[in-house]
Amino acid sequence: MSSEHTIWNHESLRRHVVRTSEDGSSEVVLLVDGLRCANCVLGLERALLGLQGIKRVRINAASHRAYIVWDAVRHQLSDILRCMDAAGFPARPLDARALIDRRREESRDALKRLLVAGFGAMQAMMFATVLYVGAIDPVDETTRDLFRWLGFLVATPVVMYSARPFYQGTLRSLRSRRLGMDIPIALAIVLVYAASLYVAMKGGHEVYFDSASMFVFFLLTGRFLEMRGRHKAMDLTDALVSLLPDVAQQRQASGRLKAIPVLELKPGDRIVVDSGEIVPVDGKLISTQCRVDEAVLSGESELIHKSEGDHLMAGSMLQRGPAEILVERCGSDTTMAGIISLVERAQAERPRLAKVGEKIVNQFVLLVLVLAVATAVFWTFFDSARIFSAVIAVLVVSCPCAFALAVPAATTRVLAVLAREGVLVSKPDSIEAIVTASHIVFDKTGTLTSGLALGRVEILGDCKNLHESLDALDITAALVRENQHPVSQALAAATRERENVPTVDDVETFAGLGVQGRIDGQLVRLGQARFALGEDLHRWPDVQSEDLILSADFAPLARIELGESLRDSASSAIQDLQAAGFNISLTSGDSLSKVNAVADQLAIKHRYAGQLPAEKLEYLQQLHLQGASVVVVGDGVNDGPILAGADVSFAMGQGANVARATSDFVLVGGDLRKIVLTRQLAQEALGVIQDNQRWALVYNLIAIPLAAAGYVPPWLAALGMSISSIVVVMNALKIGRKLPLPQPEDQAVAAPAI
């Protein structure tokens, strides 16, 4: 067993690259070598799915990513790496070092092959010039033989070394029993070289060593520029992977600082981060205050002030420090790791349009081979001297790459631009779906509103009946401490300093209603009155069914009021969405008065209050029955059913919950204006895809007939194919360049909603 593979079974390394999903499965994103086309992807998928225990495989040839989910009981990571190696696609876990090393290795290898091909092509062309001139101004046969063999000598390194990637791609395609786009190229190179060698050995006149060298050079030039374009598209997201530092300054028990690897940090450790450094973990600020730049996480360009007790996220840059931080989450559990995981999974996915392109490539390669045979048959009857050059031109000039790259190149670019702007994409198919959406449904709390704060607490019962030393806020603090709902988080923040917090057993959350637990055996509930008081609600006429009530054994202890304000971006986002033609609705579990207050400020006509999760889903289904394509925007915590049922879903990124987001898009910074930006980028991406596909179709419809007719020499065919692929990649890189990004509002909307 290769030590190169088994080293990833060590727990310290495995923990760094392998994530554990909620069902206990292991998942990893790998960087894969050798991926060139759809057939490479399909062959590798077939090899991996042949392993028992592999649950899911998603591979993207454009990003060279493979996202794999498997049963860790059946296989270790080394088994998967060894399987991929045996299939001809070596892989390694995606980390900063692997990313940098692979980029350098790929660029260096491609450049070396290109230089050898360029030198060989120039020399072969120079030697061939003597033969071409000799056809007009006779040269003695000895000299002609000399220059034929000199052409052979300089063409051989080009064919044997520089053209090797084409042969490797062909072998992988044949091994997987699929027609890859390297097959016509490799066939043309081998035919030209072998035929020229045969003619030289027989003392014939027509050799094509210069043509073989020239079209290898042109093809490699195209692939080199394509590779650089792909690297540029990926740079925006790969920067996330290489951002975190390797070493942290740990505060020892003695008070001294010690430099240790970030991999060795664990929750409860204390670290010190200096100004200008990147925060390596998620943690709580235990020094007085600092200012951080979270642009790479949320797209927010303004510095954020943090005070003692506030949370800092891995990947933030400390601008004013130093800061001492209590480690809460590290390694693959951090917010940064969650963001990277979402980005990597999205880059490994193949959208529906890409799969259509892959089918076209398979059929196209078969068609090219048939046309090459037909061309040979045609010229056999009309001019046998032109058979060879015409067949080679047909094999080389065809460009399946343009069809294969059209969707992946555009998708990779739009994913990178959105990630830079604080929008993470978990399902690339949603890029196509959002363009056709007609309706958008918003949740209220935590989505359109933010800044929840504890307002008035009205005592309705005696807490001493529960425990003589407790008050309402002590009990509230105990119930909400671990809950992720925005209301619970606001109450947790308001009661953070409470010292007399009791222990709560059997804590359980009821979506859309509230939370309950047991203190000293008594049932304690916090939530809507109809939940907290149950069937006894009618006994308290002053309590409304939507009031936030704390109760013990269904007897009210306190009524809690919260204040909230509109999210800064809500007003302009709603205006932009209305201008874009969306029909906008607001659904919420809150009372009608609270929902109306928010809807009136935002001019939302369709509003629905007191909605349980099932009722929200029913409303969504009614829209679907009317033929609407619906976008749903929620906080991602208690909107699971309606988010899952939507055609397109956006969730507000909430710290570590980013990693567990099940929505199509995640707004990491919570900027609702990015919904409009996402749709604009999606429209631009689909336009680029259509342009690329039209270009590929027109190019092949013109180039292949001309080549078959004998009007395109092999070297020009290679140049045309290379230019076609380059056009597709360069066109994709235009996405997002001229798009006007939303500007900050002149004045934040902060009017109270209740």
- Spatial distance between the Cα atoms of 549 and 563, rounded to a whole number of angstroms: 15
- Spatial distance between the Cα atoms of 50 and 586, rounded to a whole number of angstroms: 47
Residue 79, pLDDT above cutoff 80: yes
The predicted model gives 488-493 an average pLDDT of 81
Pairing of strands 555-566, 91-93: unpaired
The predicted model gives 148-161 an average pLDDT of 89
Residue 237, pLDDT above cutoff 60: no
DSSP letter (8 states) at residue 288: S
Tell me the pLDDT band of 304, cut-offs 50, 70 and 90. confident
Tell me the pLDDT band of 585, cut-offs 50, 70 and 90. very high
% of the chain beyond a pLDDT of 90: 7
Tell me the pLDDT band of 754, cut-offs 50, 70 and 90. very low
Domain 423-447+566-674 class, CATH top level: alpha beta
DSSP-assigned letters across all residues of 198-262: HHHHHT-S---HHHHHHHHHHHHHHHHHHHHHHHHHHHHHHHHHTTS-SEEEEEPTTS-EEEEEG
Instruction: Quote the pLDDT of residue 679.
Output: 92
Q: Which segment of 314-318, 358-362, 490-494, 693-697 scores lowest on mean pLDDT?
A: 358-362
Residue 7, pLDDT above cutoff 80: no
Instruction: Quote the pLDDT of residue 442.
Output: 92
Instruction: Quote the pLDDT of residue 659.
Output: 41
% of the chain beyond a pLDDT of 70: 80
Tokens of 615: 């009722």
The predicted model gives 618-644 an average pLDDT of 82
Domain boundaries, the chain: 3-94, 101-239+350-412+688-732, 250-334, 423-447+566-674, 451-562
**CA of 620: how far to CAs of 335, 436, 438, 626, 643, in Å?**
31, 16, 13, 10, 10
Q: What is the pLDDT of residues 213-228, one digit of tens each?
A: 877 887 787 677 667 7
Residue 752, pLDDT above cutoff 50: no
Q: What are phi and psi of 587, to 5 degrees?
A: -125, 140
Q: Tell me what the pLDDT averaged over the chain comes to.
A: 78
Tell me the pLDDT band of 743, cut-offs 50, 70 and 90. very low
- Spatial distance between the Cα atoms of 643 and 511, rounded to a whole number of angstroms: 14
DSSP-assigned letters across all residues of 422-488: TEEES-THHHHHHHT--EEEE-IIIIIEEEEEEEEEEE-S-GGGT-TT--HHHHHHHHHTT--SHHH
Residue 299, pLDDT above cutoff 60: no
Q: What is the pLDDT of residues 685-719, one digit of tens each?
A: 888 888 888 888 888 888 889 888 888 876 677 67
Q: What angle do CA 661, 663, 669 make, to 5 degrees?
A: 70
DSSP letter (8 states) at residue 655: G
Cis peptide before 322 (omega within 30 of 0): yes
CA atoms within 13 A on the CB side of 412: 30
Tell me the fold of 3-94.
Answer: Alpha-Beta Plaits (3.30.70)
Which residues have CB under 8 Å from 209's CB, separation 6+?
124, 127, 128, 148, 151, 152, 154, 155, 193, 196
The predicted model gives 494-523 an average pLDDT of 84
- Spatial distance between the Cα atoms of 310 and 284, rounded to a whole number of angstroms: 6
Q: Does residue 196 or residue 523 have the better pLDDT?
A: 523
Instruction: Quote the pLDDT of residue 583.
Output: 92
Instruction: Quote the pLDDT of residue 307.
Output: 80
Q: Which segment of 94-98, 194-198, 386-390 scores lowest on mean pLDDT?
A: 94-98
Tell me the pLDDT band of 157, cut-offs 50, 70 and 90. very high
- Please count the other Cβ atoms lying within 10 Å of the Cβ belonging to residue 564: 26
Amino acid at 228: R
Instruction: Quote the pLDDT of residue 710.
Output: 83
Amino acid at 325: I
- Spatial distance between the Cα atoms of 456 and 454, rounded to a whole number of angstroms: 7
Architecture in CATH for domain 451-562: 3-Layer(aba) Sandwich (3.40)
Pairing of strands 522-528, 514-519: antiparallel
Are 137 and 233 in contact by the 8 Å Cβ rule? The answer is: no
3-class state of residue 652 by DSSP: strand
Instruction: Quote the pLDDT of residue 744.
Output: 41
Q: What are phi and psi of 458, to 5 degrees?
A: -105, 120
Are 94 and 241 in contact by the 8 Å Cβ rule? The answer is: yes
The predicted model gives 480-497 an average pLDDT of 79
Amino acid at 243: L
Q: What is the pLDDT of residues 641-670, one digit of tens each?
A: 788 788 898 888 754 454 445 678 888 778
- Please count the other Cβ atoms lying within 10 Å of the Cβ belonging to residue 318: 21
Question: Burial letters for 443-469: b for 16+ Cβ neighbours within 10 Å, e otherwise?
Answer: bbbbbbbbebebeebeebbebeebbee
DSSP-assigned letters across all residues of 509-574: EETTTEEEEEETTEEEEEEEHHHHTGGGGGG-TTS-TTSEEEEETTEEEEEEEEEEEE-TTHHHHH
Residue 105, pLDDT above cutoff 50: yes
The predicted model gives 193-208 an average pLDDT of 76
Residue 100, pLDDT above cutoff 70: no
Write down how long the chain is. 754
Among 229, 557, 210, 154, smallest CA distance to 401 is for 229
Instruction: Quote the pLDDT of residue 116.
Output: 92
Residue 488, pLDDT above cutoff 70: yes
Residue 455, pLDDT above cutoff 80: no
Q: What are phi and psi of 530, to 5 degrees?
A: -65, -25
The CATH number of the structural domain formed by 250-334 is: 2.70.150.10
Residue 616, pLDDT above cutoff 80: yes
Instruction: Quote the pLDDT of residue 631.
Output: 92
